[in-house]
């Protein structure tokens, strides 16, 4: 295509087929969330600039699309609005704005586009769909477990293969640092290095820990425990020496016990080395990996003070975010045909147009998608070609012969068989045909 007609860099047009695939997935997601009592929230595409600034760090801030002031202020070159960068800051604003009108706890989901001026690349867009579910106002691990359970149901419902949850708690991590006597100032760096245990060798991790200033013996000890064959048991034992670690362990075990009956055994794994990049988590954290996916396809956790930091009330909160674009890449092939119509109605001559129009309406009344031929050709072959291109299951033909007998011809576009049906009985005939196996669903 001529590049001047491309959508802007990093954005996409969604023609019918892809639009349909996405919408079906979105409907499935919404339905699961609603099943858990999460309610929808819609917020504007843009926020006031000051609502967004200072929330995403220097690197994030550079990626914000800013909107120029208008009218006499346009020439100032200044911005006063910006496209939303995520769905969390708008949630904090809503929590602040409508506090007392919202139910307690406030369980909401949001799904819609966000915009980031990132360098576009494979699977990375400047306009992409985010999907978040969050519970504000509950400190209970049941709220954490509920989010995980809902995310599990979404992926199971979408037919995603081989997905699993890694579960940890920020308090487990704090307990580990305490148990292994990591100096307070080194904590964050040590955790970042530990998180590499699935990518680099234990020796390299030990060395990196030592480089960060952790005494060599303690570093080797920590890595040995984390990579032992019976790592989980040894970590559990170590955590029990720390109050924070014990609390974290209890949190993880509570979530695991809540999920036990709802999620297949083994799908949720306690993963003490998992850190998750964001610093604001305060309790259970989790992420979802899947066969064939690069990186996680969902993640979340408890973030008890973040909403206050973002300008909202200081409420306990937990939630998760689905990587919608990544997830869509994993959808099993739907086998859906490129069908726009169930019934294609020919128009053999201008004088028959009102009858053809009425036949299409009759087919719609029978619950089928139907339209008349809108082209200029009076040739049946040409019109049947259109019917076939439209993916129609039946063509309805009405011309001089049909007019004479008060009937209408219905052609099965798969078998090529044609039957004459009384004009007044068309809707019923099509409804019957459609209800048979092989008809449109």
Which one of 2-10, 191-199, 230-238, 240-248 is the stretch in contact with its own copies (CB under 8 A)? 2-10
Shortest reach from residue 400's CB to its own copies, in Å? 19
Q: Nearer Cβ to its own copies, position 136 or 219?
A: 136
CB of 214 to its own copies, least distance (A): 37
Contact present, 147 and 320 (Cβ < 8 Å): yes
Q: Which of residues 199-258 bind its own copies (CB under 8 A)?
A: 254, 257-258
**Residue 128 bridge partners (DSSP):** 114
Sites for its own copies among residues 88-147 (CB under 8 A): 93-94, 96-98, 101-105, 107-108, 113, 115, 117, 127, 135, 138-140, 142-143, 145-146
CB 182 within 8 A of CB 214: yes
Question: Among residue numbers 159 through 188, which ones bind its own copies (CB under 8 A)?
Answer: none
Closest approach of its own copies to the CB of residue 219, in Å:
38
Which residues, in sequence order, are bridge partners of residue 215? none
Regarding 1 and contact with its own copies (CB under 8 A), the answer is yes
Site for its own copies in 267-296 (CB under 8 A): none
**Helix residue ranges per DSSP H, 310-389:** 324-330, 353-365, 380-389
Strands 127-136 and 106-115 come out as antiparallel
Q: Which is nearer to its own copies, 127 or 218 (CB)?
A: 127
Rounded-to-integer distance, Cα 322 and Cα 110, Å: 11
Closer to its own copies by Cβ: residue 64 or 219 = 64
Residue 396 contacts its own copies per CB under 8 A: no
Q: Whole-number minimum distance, CB 272 to its own copies, in Å?
A: 23
Nearer to its own copies, 200 or 260 (CB): 260
User: Which residues make Cβ contacts (< 8 Å) with residue 4, sequence separation at least 6?
Assistant: none
Q: How many residues bind its own copies (CB under 8 A)?
A: 99
Of the pair 70, 122, the CB lying nearest its own copies is at: 70
190 binds its own copies (CB under 8 A): no
Q: How many CB atoms lie within 10 A of CB 316?
A: 19
Residue 368: partners with Cβ closer than 8 Å, 6 or more residues away = 342, 343, 430, 431, 434, 440
Q: How far apart are CA 76 and CA 88, in angstroms?
A: 30
Reference 148, options 262, 291, 29, 18; nearest CA is 262
- Quick one: 416 exposed, middle or buried, by C-beta within 10 A (0-12, 13-18, 19+)? exposed
Q: How far is the CB of 423 from its own copies (least distance, A)?
A: 12
Chain positions 321 to 360 lying near its own copies, rule: CB under 8 A, are: 340-341, 347, 353-354, 357-358
- Min CB(232)–its own copies separation in Å: 21
> In the bound complex, what is the minimum distance in angstroms from residue 50's beta carbon to its own copies?
8
Should residue 34 be labelled a site residue for its own copies when binding is judged by CB under 8 A?
Answer: yes
Half-sphere exposure of 32 (CA within 13 A, CB side): 23
The tokens describing 11, both together, are 């954005």
Output b/e per residue, 224-239; b: 16+ Cβ within 10 A. ebbeeeeeeeebbebb
Give whichever of 193 and 390 is closer to its own copies, judged by the CB atom. Answer: 390
Residue 154 found at the interface with its own copies (CB under 8 A): no
């Amino acid at each position: 295509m001529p590049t001047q007609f491309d959508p802007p860099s990093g954005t996409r047009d969604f023609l019918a087929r892809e639009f349909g695939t996405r919408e079906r997935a979105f409907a499935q997601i919404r339905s699961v969330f609603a099943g858990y009592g999460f309610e929808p929230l819609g917020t504007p595409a843009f926020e006031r600039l000051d609502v967004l600034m200072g929330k995403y760090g220097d690197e994030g801030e550079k990626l914000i699309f800013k909107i120029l002031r208008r009218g006499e202020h346009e020439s100032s070159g200044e911005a006063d609005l910006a496209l939303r960068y995520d769905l969390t800051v708008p949630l904090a604003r809503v929590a602040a704005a409508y506090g007392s009108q919202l139910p307690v706890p406030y369980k909401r989901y949001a799904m819609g586009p966000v915009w980031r001026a990132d360098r576009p690349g494979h699977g990375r867009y400047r306009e992409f769909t985010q999907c978040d579910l969050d519970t504000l106002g509950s400190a209970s691990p049941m709220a954490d477990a509920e989010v995980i359970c809902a995310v599990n149901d979404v992926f199971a419902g979408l037919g995603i293969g081989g997905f699993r949850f890694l579960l940890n708690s920020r308090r487990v991590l704090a307990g580990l640092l305490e148990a292994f006597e990591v100096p307070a100032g080194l904590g964050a760096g040590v955790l970042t290095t530990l998180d590499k245990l699935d990518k680099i060798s234990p020796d390299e991790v030990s060395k990196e820990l030592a480089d960060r200033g952790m005494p060599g013996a303690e570093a080797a000890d920590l890595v040995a425990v984390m990579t032992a064959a019976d790592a989980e048991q040894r970590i559990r034992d170590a955590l029990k020496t720390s109050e924070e670690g014990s609390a974290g362990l209890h949190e993880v075990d509570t979530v695991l016990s809540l999920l036990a009956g709802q999620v297949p055994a083994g799908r949720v794994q306690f993963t003490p080395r998992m850190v998750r990049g964001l610093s604001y988590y305060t309790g259970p954290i989790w992420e979802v990996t899947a066969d064939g996916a690069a990186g996680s396809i969902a993640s979340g956790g408890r973030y008890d003070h973040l909403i206050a930091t973002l300008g909202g009330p200081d409420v306990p909160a937990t939630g998760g975010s689905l990587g919608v674009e990544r997830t869509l890449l994993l959808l099993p092939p739907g086998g859906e045909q490129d069908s726009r119509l169930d019934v294609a109605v020919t128009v053999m001559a201008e004088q028959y147009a009102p009858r053809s129009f009425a036949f299409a309406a009759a087919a719609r009344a029978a619950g089928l998608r139907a339209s008349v031929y809108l082209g200029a050709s009076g040739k049946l072959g040409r019109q049947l070609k259109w019917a076939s291109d439209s993916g129609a299951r039946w063509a309805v033909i009405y011309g001089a012969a049909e007019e004479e007998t008060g009937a209408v011809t219905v052609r099965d576009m798969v078998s090529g068989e044609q039957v004459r049906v009384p004009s007044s009985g068309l809707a019923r005939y099509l409804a019957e045909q459609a209800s048979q196996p092989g008809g449109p669903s």
